[in-house]
Amino acid sequence: MPFIYHRTVHFQDTDAAGVVYFASVLSICHEAYEASLSASGIDLRHFFRNSEVAIPIVHASADFFAPMFCGDLLDVRLLAKQLSEDKFDVNTEIFAAGVSERCLAKAVTRHLCIQPSKRTRQPLPPEVVQWLQGMG
């Protein structure tokens, strides 16, 4: 079941042409990811400061289908899928609020679980596996 994050485009998200800057789309997607983790009960402060587990993004891509402007209301739909014991993808689609037939942008981020001090792969923590199961 997708997680839906509601977001207004802010002036700071736009470029000199007045449309959402390409890197801002990935930032909006990451906001939705964080909101999804929090909604599932994960403590974000601990999650992002944990010295035993880090889950960096190792790949990101985005496709753009229509411009987004300051003040636009967005529905950001997020689905996550576990790929292996230490890796998952987050697939995000951005729509104009209430207009589900017109996708404005899509993005994918791939996340890999590591032990930060050794920089070695390790299994995803149970709370992340549980979050992923809820996203399926």
Catalytic positions: 15
Dist. CA 102–CA 72, nearest whole Å = 14
- Eight-state DSSP code of residue 125: P
Strand positions, DSSP E, the chain: 3-8, 57-64, 73-84, 87-96, 103-112, 114-115, 120-121
Dist. CA 41–CA 7, nearest whole Å = 21
Residue 134's Cβ-count burial label (10 Å; 0-12, 13-18, 19+) is middle
| 64 DSSP β-pair partners | 105
